[in-house]
A and B are shown apart, each in its own frame.
Chain A
Amino acid sequence: MTKPEGELTWRDLEIGSIVTEAGNASQYQTGDWRSERPIFDNNKCIKCGLCYIFCPEGCIGQNAEGYFDADLFYCKGCGICARECWPKAISMVPEEE
């Protein structure tokens, strides 16, 4: 795990401030930006994967049965998946406290 930025001293930095842990941004939560989240209806899903390919976050994955779901740790709730799902298997619902 990368040390949080507020705890890094100058001595902790790699030469030239290189980041050596590839893709460590995946530790960073963007899901809390969301005001709506996608709900996937597997009865309507035809497993085409358009939601997966069109997700700007790359946070939609396919499970063992071939259905899709969004990783809410990252999902910012843009609604592209719901808009592009032509069998209308995805709907956006408001995030509530």
Chain B
Amino acid sequence: MAKRVGIEVSLAIAEAAKLARADVVAAYPITPQTHIVEHLAKLVADGEMDTQYIPVESEHSAMSACLGASAAGARTFTATAGQGLELMHEVMYVASSMQLPVVMTVVNRALSAPLSVWGDHSDVMAVRDTGWIQIFAENGQETVDNVLCAFRIGEDRRVLLPVMIHLDGFYLSHVIEPVLFPEQSQVDKFIPPYQHPMPLHPDRPVTMGAFGPPIIYAETKKAQEVNLEASKEVILQCWDEFGKTFKRYYSPVESYHSEKAKVLLLTMGSFGETAMTAIDKMRGEGREVGLIRLRLWRPFPFKEIRQAVKNAEALIVLDRALSFGGPGGPVCSEIKAALYGEDKKPKVIGFVGGLGGRDITPAGFEEIINRGIEISQKGSENEFEIFGVRE
């Protein structure tokens, strides 16, 4: 039987990696990710987890060691945040293009300068195009469930891609929540052992990472794009199977009272739960508002997004990152791009908020929605607005 435990989410992530029987963990400490790697180290030290733990000297080496371990055929896990993710940046492209299914939890954190250890999505957006599968979790249970799913999806023969599970720094990583942990036997059944089809081994000498001259590089990228697109089908199958087994259900785009709502708010990450409170209150007052939570960030769920918002008049998108000098938040840009060619589409209004750990309360979400409605009716000189900033 599954056990319900009150546990800090970071520790729960480490427990999930243990349940998944990760063979190699390579990690470097960074706030707010530290509790994950500390707990992993403790599990290994206590003999509860049969894992090679590599205490590397940087995040660049953490991801690099993961590449090596994965290429040798080991199930590989790591975690990082903010600056650490940026230091990994170039290595992440290699993981996806060489099809090494590393699983990583990213405890989302703002980027320097000024230094900020608190949460936002600046780190995520900078690695948007690295070719990884990227899934957002909103609470502890979702994080644990999706870490388990990540191994199954990434290591699937039809996929073989690295997977990032995003969770907000502190607001999610450091809270204690009740989490249901499945039995080891259930997890073993759900995640079959990782088998790289052609690992580095003297029995069959392969060359990995040969360089691509112009005559062949484009073909390698096309293959990569087709592969990442096709992974969506496997992700959906995995979540479906997960639902059947564990009775918890996930989908690329999740809707909350959105079916008949004229105004929709779209969020990613743990803000979704706070926004729900605001939506409940406003609906109680007779307002026709609903919420869209974007869970699958890559591959981007075009079809599901279009379906979810097609009946709304206004769609208010809240980003937790800024694309400086650009059209606003990266999520909002993508939503606009996804809807541009549609005949029937809502007006899209962009907000940026929650930067560097700045909280947004339910009242704040109400304010965002009201201001969004105002802009949708009267228009605005700005491409987007930063919510809650002192003028």
Chain A residues close to B by CB (< 8 Å): 5-6, 8-20, 22
Contact = CB atoms under 8 A, between A and B. Distances in A.
B286 interface: no
A63 B226 CA distance: 51
Nearest to B215: A5
Interface in B157-214: 160, 197-198, 205-208, 210, 212-213
A9 B198 CA distance: 21
Interface of B: 97-100, 160, 197-198, 205-208, 210, 212-213, 215-216, 219-220, 222-223, 226
B206 A19 contact: yes
B74 to A, nearest CB: 16
A10 B223 CA distance: 5
A15 B206 contact: no
A20 B212 contact: no
A18 B198 CA distance: 8
A19 B160 CA distance: 17
A10 B219 CA distance: 4
Contacts of A22: 205-207
A9 B221 CA distance: 11
A18 B208 contact: yes
Nearest to B221: A10
Contacts of B208: 16, 18
Contacts of A12: 219
A2 to B, nearest CB: 12
A67 B359 CA distance: 81
A80 B198 CA distance: 39
Contacts of B160: 15-16
A8 B219 contact: yes
A6 B216 CA distance: 7
B97 A17 contact: yes
Contact of A19 (B97, B98, B210, B226): B210
